[in-house]
Structure 1
Amino acid sequence: MSQADLEKRLWSAANALRGPVDPADFKNYVFPMLFWKWISDSWLYEHAEAADEYGDELTDEIEADFHRFEMPTGALWPDVTTKINNLGAEIAKTFQAIEKANPRSLAGVFGDAAWGNKERIPESALLGLIKAFNEIQLDPSTVSHDLLGAGYEYLLKNFADESGKKAGEFFTPREVVNLIVGILEPEPGESVYDPTCGSGGMLVSTINRVRDHGKDHRTLRVYGQEVNLTTSSIARMNLFLHEIEDFDIKRGDTLRAPAFKESNGAMRQFDVTIANPPFSLRDWGADRWPADPRAFCGVPPAKNGDYAFIQHMISSMKPDTGRVGVVMPHGVLFRGGAEAKIRECLVERDMLEAVIGLPPNLFYSTSIPACILVFRDQKPGERKDHVLFVDGSARFVTGKNQNLMSPDDVDTLIEAYRTGEDPDGDGGANVRLVPVDEIAANQFDLNMGRYIQVAAEETADLGATLVAYADARQNRIEAESTMFERLAAAGIDLSAFGVTE
């Protein structure tokens, strides 16, 4: 089966849900069915291999060595999908049985979609989905892991396009992922961690980069945490379908309850830590951080978790070899208050290696410009007591809904980061290594325009203005709320101010 043929058939399966199911929910149903069909087809293929090799001498014990996953009796695709009564409920029971039979590898992998709820997924839509998947054979002789993994990524991208702003919760544009992975250069044998792993795209790209460079990707160890149950399930399926064995994806709130800790309670540390956290997260758990060792440079504002994610990632950075790449809104570069003190601390500790400005409107969840911050435990000698600024704001092609970066754009910015110079000399990536003393003279404001000429300056300024406006508006609302509470406590009639209870 060709890549184009597989993608066409997979998208046809997804379209079977169109109408009764919201496109934003397609992923909740399509990915579990795809994964189940793959497990079932592969199990039948493995069974045939075992029968061919051993014939009448085949025993259950011998056959078990041929199978990657155990399939309970009656759990194969053709056993269930031909049933005519309460099909959704039967599928849900089958998923539970498969998870129970594979507790170490598949517990919770199918997510929590309401298969038996005919209001959410009518039986006609479910039958259409099954019919479409019946047309796709997914055993290893028909679809390789590379092909299937690419097909999975194709679905993720299409579901992101369909979901609009909601896609930001589970999908980071792959050009941004490839840029960060290219900067951090993971090597065989290293550990890679994504504390907000979404659908697992950054972890998969890390594996792919090592493999594409002719190195042994199988020695990489990948770890991730994701707060959303469905999305964490999608990440695990993604890694399985990319033939990645050594991974550990945990579900939970990274800032409130980090899942990867040592026996003494300290943060587990990794060679490469990579993430695109939710921008400016409110209600992130600041009340628990004054005594948290991750707050080594200070406690971020209760209504903005950006620097909580940054400090968590740095705390997860292994000594000597550790490096961090994180996507952040431009506001982290210049906002005041507690964030300014944390920013000053990070720069003074010489942890921040680079600030890389990205083009505007790359992300599904927001149109404001973003940047990549790169931290290292041990910076190269020539970059000690300096911060590298790279402007990539002009490296994009205008798209229908989001702007896009070409592979050449990505390669140009990676080269600019590595060399500290504009690699093509045409102004496409303005680059400058700035002494920390100069940053200190600017009160540790990292706004890129202070240090280099930003190509998309108007857009960047607009983004900064929007962030500042949002902060000011929230401060006004909180101040008014406090004032009205005090007035009410003093017995003053608030209706005179146009305020109702």
Structure 2
Amino acid sequence: MTLIPTQPQHLTQQQLERALWNAANALRGPVDPGDFKAYVFPVMFYKWICDTWIYEYNRSISEFDEDFVEDHTFQIPDGAHWADVINTPQNVGAKLADVLLRLVEANPEKLDGVFGDVNWANKERLPESALLELLDAFDRIKLDPSSISGDVLGSAYEYLLREFAEASGKKAGEFYTPRSVVHLLTKILDPKAGESVADPACGSAGILVEVSNAVRAGGGDPAQLRLYGQEINLTTSAIAKMNLYLHGAIDPHIYRGDTLRDPKLTVDGKLMRFDVTAANPPFSLQGWGADGWSADPWGRALGAVPPAKNGDYAWIQHMVSTMKDGTGRAGIIMPHGVLFRGGAEQKIRQELIERDLLEAVIGLPKNLFYSTSIPVCILVFRAEKPVERLGKVLFIDADRRFVPGKNQNTMSDDDIETVSIGYHTGLDVDGPDGVDVRLVDRTELAEHRYDLNIGLYIKRETAVEANVEEAIIRMREAADALDAARAALDEKLKAAGFDA
């Protein structure tokens, strides 16, 4: 047995990020920047698997003088190593496609679906010259544990996600949630080692990664977490799996599919229940499956069926239905419209409030997201609320807590800590840039017909500005109602023999 030659490089965070971005730029021209992720991440992940295999092989030789193949994180079949691809003289795309397929076959439970659906052999879509340049860029760096720590590698992966989000503009919302928002959501839900955590709209798994980081930072063992996710997009679900592995997750469970129509996180014919559920679902989703919701076999239609043209409350109903009795809590990022829209959504709000499941409404600053400039909120639900919050809902107005940015605003660590303190203590955090907090009794919510507009309960001089979105939404609702009334009148006139 002999060691396999390797050259540890010990790249800094900045050096690795520069190298990875150079690799992505190898595709510029033939590949749209919005699609970089579909090509770069599988190659990066494959290189990491191969470099880690060599690292584990050499460690076994050094420590035991023999190769314990079963100890490898991933099994690599003969002829499927990085060197086998990089040294292929021609038709490299076809070779890479074959190698990735064989890797999946050798590690079906871990790697099924992880490499996406790119046709690597299609030279029209990806010229061989561009692929060779991409492979060469990764060939110049080592991604094994002796060269790069897991934290540095994971942070570099997050860097690429941010850069791809910038490059793809509005498409970014499909797979990237701003880290400051994710960090705040995680501090509010306070996950612990040993708990089960799920994200039913997981995107690139940023929330699940942040949960692991939070447990580690708190002195817990993230390996004891049970992480689950579901994502409808094939490429994005693959990115999620890679992201979790690169951040050190041991056995993440990421499923591809439509959560509202076909939830995959089930057991014995019932929805799985979790200690923590957190998500940033797609806002105002149309065509989400309202037709079958009243007879939903999973029993998620709490209060009413959400509007067919807006699935916000379907996500809320789903996540509330997956909270574990006793310990379960859920945090959901939503547009402010969920707080005050009428009709079926009002009925659902009433149901959730009367069941005493809604714990907090947290209004965040505007322009935090790539996909929308509107302000968003976090809704916090608990299966069992603290005694002092029974029959009440905590309102937090944090729209002043942000750092202005060129393209998007962000929240600093101090902003996040300030809002977190307001949530956990239920007290105002004083100062001109503090947060306003108020615990509101359920009877007062009923007096306002279960309208949760923050401005109704927390008065500020800037309330007029904060209510712009509400005015726009109510105007659109009125216009839609008028259109529906006109259509109904036209039908009645036609039925009576009058031509419109």
Same fold (TM over 0.5): yes
Match of 1:319 in 2: 325
Match of 1:193 in 2: 198
Shift in Å, 1:93? 1.5
Match of 1:232 in 2: 237
Q: Please report the RMSD computed on the Cα atoms of aligned residues, expressed in angstroms.
A: 2.0
Shift in Å, 1:246? 2.9
- More divergent stretch after superposition (75-84 vs 339-348): 75-84
Q: Deviations over 1:264-301 (max 9, x none)?
A: x2211000000000011110001111112111222111
Match for residue 413 of structure 1 among 400, 409, 419 = 419
Q: Which amino acid in the other structure matches residue 276 of structure 1? A: N
Structure 2 residues without counterparts, runs of 5 or longer: 1-10
For 2:498 and 2:244, the matched residues in 1 are separated by 61
- More divergent stretch after superposition (453-462 vs 242-251): 453-462
Match of 1:449 in 2: 455
Residue 268 (1) aligns with residue 272 (2): yes
Residue 334 (1) aligns with residue 344 (2): no
Residue 97 (1) aligns with residue 102 (2): yes
Residue 162 (1) aligns with residue 172 (2): no
- More divergent stretch after superposition (143-152 vs 194-203): 143-152
Match for residue 60 of structure 2 among 50, 55, 58 = 50
Quickly say closer, same or farther: Cα 1:53–1:368, change in 2 above 3 A: same
Q: Deviations over 1:162-191 (max 9, x none)?
A: 111110010100111011110010011110
**Matched position secondary structure for 2:332:** strand
For 1:455 and 1:125, the matched residues in 2 are separated by 56
Structure 1 residues without counterparts, runs of 5 or longer: 495-501
Check the 8 A contact 2:429/2:436 in 1, yes or no. Answer: no
Q: Which amino acid in the other structure matches residue 29 of structure 1? A: Y
For 2:459 and 2:433, the matched residues in 1 are separated by 10
Match for residue 279 of structure 1 among 279, 283, 308 = 283
**Matched position secondary structure for 1:197:** coil
Shift in Å, 1:457? 3.1
**Matched position secondary structure for 2:467:** helix
Q: Which amino acid in the other structure matches residue 423 of structure 2? A: Y
For 1:201 and 1:427, the matched residues in 2 are separated by 28
Match for residue 397 of structure 1 among 399, 403, 407 = 403
Shift in Å, 1:63? 2.5
**Matched position secondary structure for 2:68:** helix
Match of 1:499 in 2: none
Quickly say closer, same or farther: Cα 1:485–1:6, change in 2 above 3 A: farther
**Matched position secondary structure for 1:249:** strand
Shift in Å, 1:42? 1.0
For 1:485 and 1:95, the matched residues in 2 are separated by 58
Match of 1:247 in 2: 252
Q: Which amino acid in the other structure matches residue 364 of structure 1? A: Y
TM-score (norm 2): 0.93
Shift in Å, 1:488? 8.2
Check the 8 A contact 2:401/2:433 in 1, yes or no. Answer: no
For 1:434 and 1:325, the matched residues in 2 are separated by 19
Shift in Å, 1:427? 4.9
Q: Deviations over 1:24-43 (max 9, x none)?
A: 10110110000000001111
TM-score (norm 1): 0.93
Q: Which amino acid in the other structure matches residue 145 of structure 2? A: P
For 2:153 and 2:435, the matched residues in 1 are separated by 36
Q: Which amino acid in the other structure matches residue 85 of structure 1? A: Q
Q: Which amino acid in the other structure matches residue 25 of structure 1? A: D
Q: Which amino acid in the other structure matches residue 314 of structure 1? A: V
**Matched position secondary structure for 2:446:** helix
For 1:389 and 1:364, the matched residues in 2 are separated by 26
Check the 8 A contact 1:220/1:246 in 2, yes or no. Answer: no
Shift in Å, 1:49? 2.4
Shift in Å, 1:52? 3.2
For 1:18 and 1:38, the matched residues in 2 are separated by 23
**Matched position secondary structure for 2:366:** coil
1:103-252 pair list within 5 angstroms: 103-252=108-257
Residue 309 (1) aligns with residue 315 (2): yes
Shift in Å, 1:493? 8.1
**Matched position secondary structure for 1:113:** coil
Q: Which amino acid in the other structure matches residue 196 of structure 2? A: S
Match for residue 19 of structure 1 among 29, 36, 45 = 29
For 2:183 and 2:330, the matched residues in 1 are separated by 14
For 2:286 and 2:482, the matched residues in 1 are separated by 16
**Matched position secondary structure for 1:388:** strand
For 2:140 and 2:484, the matched residues in 1 are separated by 57
For 1:407 and 1:370, the matched residues in 2 are separated by 19
Residue 436 (1) aligns with residue 442 (2): yes
Residue 372 (1) aligns with residue 347 (2): no
**Matched position secondary structure for 1:468:** helix
Quickly say closer, same or farther: Cα 1:168–1:475, change in 2 above 3 A: farther
Check the 8 A contact 2:365/2:375 in 1, yes or no. Answer: yes
For 1:469 and 1:327, the matched residues in 2 are separated by 23
Residue 350 (1) aligns with residue 356 (2): yes
Match of 1:497 in 2: none
Q: Which amino acid in the other structure matches residue 150 of structure 1? A: S
Match for residue 83 of structure 1 among 88, 93, 100 = 88
**Matched position secondary structure for 1:65:** helix
Quickly say closer, same or farther: Cα 1:491–1:74, change in 2 above 3 A: farther
Match for residue 10 of structure 1 among 17, 20, 25 = 20
**Matched position secondary structure for 1:434:** strand
Quickly say closer, same or farther: Cα 1:488–1:75, change in 2 above 3 A: farther
Shift in Å, 1:463? 1.8
Check the 8 A contact 1:393/1:454 in 2, yes or no. Answer: no
**Matched position secondary structure for 2:380:** strand
Aligned residue pairs: how many? Answer: 488
Check the 8 A contact 1:47/1:66 in 2, yes or no. Answer: no
For 2:439 and 2:232, the matched residues in 1 are separated by 37
Give identity over the alignment, percent.
Answer: 57
Check the 8 A contact 2:153/2:246 in 1, yes or no. Answer: yes
- More divergent stretch after superposition (112-121 vs 37-46): 112-121
Quickly say closer, same or farther: Cα 1:474–1:132, change in 2 above 3 A: farther
For 1:459 and 1:222, the matched residues in 2 are separated by 39
Shift in Å, 1:236? 0.4
Quickly say closer, same or farther: Cα 1:14–1:469, change in 2 above 3 A: farther
Q: Deviations over 1:419-469 (max 9, x none)?
A: 111224435201111111111111111101000025753442222233334
**Matched position secondary structure for 1:118:** coil
Quickly say closer, same or farther: Cα 1:454–1:225, change in 2 above 3 A: farther
Quickly say closer, same or farther: Cα 1:35–1:274, change in 2 above 3 A: same
For 2:173 and 2:150, the matched residues in 1 are separated by 26
Q: Deviations over 1:288-338 (max 9, x none)?
A: 111121112221111111111001001000011110100011111100000
Q: Which amino acid in the other structure matches residue 412 of structure 1? A: T
Shift in Å, 1:130? 1.2
